[in-house]
Chain A
Amino acid sequence: MAIAERDATGRTGAADASGTAGTGGRAARGARRKRLRRDLVLLLLMGPGLLYFLVFQYGAMAGNVIAFKDYVPFDGLWASEWVGVSNFHAILVDTAFWHAVVNTLWIALLQLAFYFPVPIALAMLLHSLTRDSLRRVVQSVMYLPHFLSWVIVVAIFQQVLGETGLLNNLLGDAHLHTVDIIGNPAAFKPLVVAQVIWKDCGWGTIIFLAALAQVDEQQYEAAAIDGAGPWRRFWHVTLPAIRPVIVLLLIMRVGDILSVGFEQMLLQRASVGPDAAEVIDTLVWQRGLVEGDYGYAAAAGLFKGVVGAVLVYAANKVAHRLGEQGVYQ
């Protein structure tokens, strides 16, 4: 326990020292060393986690240099030849890349239009229930699909909407036309959005319900006594409560606009073909991991990463301008 005791007394000492830090270089250095010694146990506890970030996040990030190289596996990463931005030139003149970008943006926009409002509406519905017991039962059922893997979700959709699935059997029994949904490129984008709604719309309500739970019940009561009906209470009490959350989620959506459901697309890419299902991530996978063109794939991935980071930054700026809190400050 010797280390712990020294650490315990050390913390108060360092707090004094940091108060006088900045008066002189030597004093500041001494204070810093004191803090380091005081926090040694903490830093040791953090060690494995920090090592993970160093190796598997920043180590991997450094590997992005192959986007600027002509990577030959035999030569290895460092011996491969530098080729400047020619990989980026290759993706920018590649129609397949732009096709994937368009697909990605289309799906992202469809999700924004048709998925994004669903959890908000559902949260309102749940919040309006007067019996908590009923609400809890519905919540437990609604959250469940979020915990299923995409493999299972896609399999369930095949089973229900597929050629021999539930829907077509019912239509057949009723002597109606059967519908061709699974494996039909034309129906793919709506199908993808429907899958996202099924999987995540219940889970998505959590954050809105949390915001709604923060509203003081008395605000509603006061508004009602002042003669505000359900709609005006919604407009003046409920909406202001969830607006920051909506803005926050919109910003996160904008940052994610170039990475729509990689696993979801990859699982169904074979059955509908790349024309309908190729998004940037699946293109990176196809070119890099399947065809072995690592330079091209890394360049496409890096392009996506940089644009995504810039988008989050810009969206957050806009949110601040509009007087919202945003993701960070």
Chain B
Amino acid sequence: MSTLAPHGTRTAGPRGTAGPRRRRPARTARPAWMERPKPLTRAAKAVALATVVLLVVVPFLIIVSTSLASNKDVVANGGWVLWPEHPTLRAYREIFEGGIVGHALAVSAGVTLVGTAVSLACTIGLAYGLSRPDLFGGRPLLLVILFTFLFPPGMIPSFLLVKSLHMLNSYDSLIAPVVINVFNLVVLRGFFQSVPAELHEAARLDGAGEWMVLRRIVLPLSKAALAVVGLFYAVSYWNAWFYASIYLDSGHWPLQQVLRTYVVGGAQLADTGAGDAGQVAAPQTIQMAVLVVAVVPILAVYPFLQKYFTKGVLTGAIKS
């Protein structure tokens, strides 16, 4: 584990927000040297692309439609709905009246916000230090950190550690053990390293210390990478459920763990305020409504994430 592949540092520097240097210009038509594709090839490509897109889009459509469907729609279709004839928000009203989903949503949002802030702060500090050439103890520290990527501590020791730190049934247990992700650390370090040394020198001549350089020069130049890493952390906190299942009792559960119990596990959301059968939304509708609530935040941040992917910020970073 001596050095990371060197070609990683070459790409996706903060100098231009675009990724790889020799990125070809945007193409809108077939270049002159390329043969005209055969009709059969074109048809095969079109079918393949359409299949891929539909395989992603159709399940989403079904989930949203089923969550909005009336009981009549659900029964008529035998459990799933592609397009609700009589859309209603009743399922959503019921899950939020019950209290479980509302509470879980608040827990997930809180853990995601706090966790992402803590993770970003710790990762930035560590990545910046490790990005400086000739740091005191830099090389051994980097190796010690990368070693945990090769040989992570197991599930049982981690559990016993969290228990011995008295973090069971505390939301700390969802954040503290996963504050830094080595992959995100390496991505940020690579990005910080590509800030030109001349900028550091110029700032130092002006009397700025490391803290000033980080805040005034490095961080503003690394906005794109910070956005991607921050959103990676946010998504991982939002999606986590396993730690909640072993560290927290059911009164503390975040949304994904609730989803796991009531949708994947098939348990009934007990306190949906069930009156007579006619007043209650069908179980499928309730389940899909919880699913939608869990997916919407991802869909909401996705366009912002996605902008950086296509800019190629990540492509260079991933290679390191």
Which residues from chain A sit less than 8 Å from chain B, CB to CB?
A: 1, 3-5, 7-8, 11, 14-15, 18, 32, 35-36, 38-39, 41-43, 45-50, 52-53, 55-64, 66, 77, 122, 125, 128-133, 136, 138-145, 147-152, 154-156, 158-160, 164-166, 169, 172, 198, 202, 206-207, 209-211, 213-214, 216-217, 220-221, 224-225, 229-230, 245, 248, 255, 262-263, 266-268, 270, 281, 284-285, 288-289, 294, 297-298, 301-302, 304-306, 308-309, 312, 325, 327-329
Contacts and interface: CB of A to CB of B under 8 A. Distances in A.
A210 B306 contact: no
Interface in B23-45: 23-24, 26-31, 33-35, 45
Contacts of B277: none
Interface of B: 1-5, 11, 19-20, 22-24, 26-31, 33-35, 45, 48-49, 52-53, 55-57, 59, 62-63, 66, 77-80, 82, 121-123, 125-126, 128-130, 132, 134-137, 141, 144-145, 148, 150-161, 164, 176-180, 185, 204, 207-212, 214, 235, 238-242, 246, 256, 259-260, 263-265, 284, 287-288, 291, 294-295, 298, 302, 305-306, 309-310, 312, 314-316, 318-319
A297 to B, nearest CB: 5
Given A66-B157, A149-B239, A172 B288 contact: no
Contact of B156 (A142, A147, A245, A298): A298
Which 9 pairs, one residue from A and one from B, show the smallest C-beta to C-beta distance?
A4-B209, A49-B126, A63-B157, A301-B154, A210-B315, A164-B79, A149-B239, A60-B153, A46-B129
A230 B35 contact: yes
A155 B132 contact: no
B49 A125 contact: yes
A256 B78 CA distance: 41
Given A130-B34, A155-B259, A166-B80, 19 more contacts: A4-B208, A8-B209, A15-B134, A45-B211, A52-B180, A56-B176, A59-B161, A60-B158, A61-B157, A130-B27, A141-B52, A151-B241, A156-B59, A159-B59, A159-B66, A294-B156, A301-B157, A328-B2, A328-B5
Contacts of B305: 147
A15 to B, nearest CB: 7
Contacts of A131: 27-29
17 contacts: A4-B212, A45-B128, A56-B153, A57-B152, A63-B157, A138-B49, A151-B259, A155-B259, A155-B264, A207-B315, A213-B23, A220-B34, A225-B33, A230-B35, A288-B156, A328-B1, A329-B2
Contacts of A132: 26-28
Nearest to A52: B179
A203 to B, nearest CB: 9
A221 B100 CA distance: 61
A206 B48 CA distance: 18
A301 B135 CA distance: 35
Given A11-B204, A60-B161, A43 B136 contact: yes
Contact of B126 (A50, A166, A220): A50
Contacts of B240: 149
Contacts of A129: 45
A53 B145 contact: yes
A119 B235 CA distance: 22
Contacts of A155: 259, 263-264, 287, 291
Given A7-B209, A221-B31, A141 B57 contact: yes
A125 B210 contact: no
A141 B55 CA distance: 10
Contacts of A198: 55-56
Contacts of B57: 141
A210 B20 contact: yes
Contacts of B56: 141-142, 144-145, 198, 202
A209 B33 CA distance: 21
Interface class of chain A by DSSP: helix
A146 B291 CA distance: 16
B48 A42 contact: no
A52 B121 CA distance: 12
B125 A48 contact: yes
A328 B66 contact: no
A39 B128 CA distance: 12
A202 B52 contact: yes
A151 B5 contact: no
B208 A285 contact: no
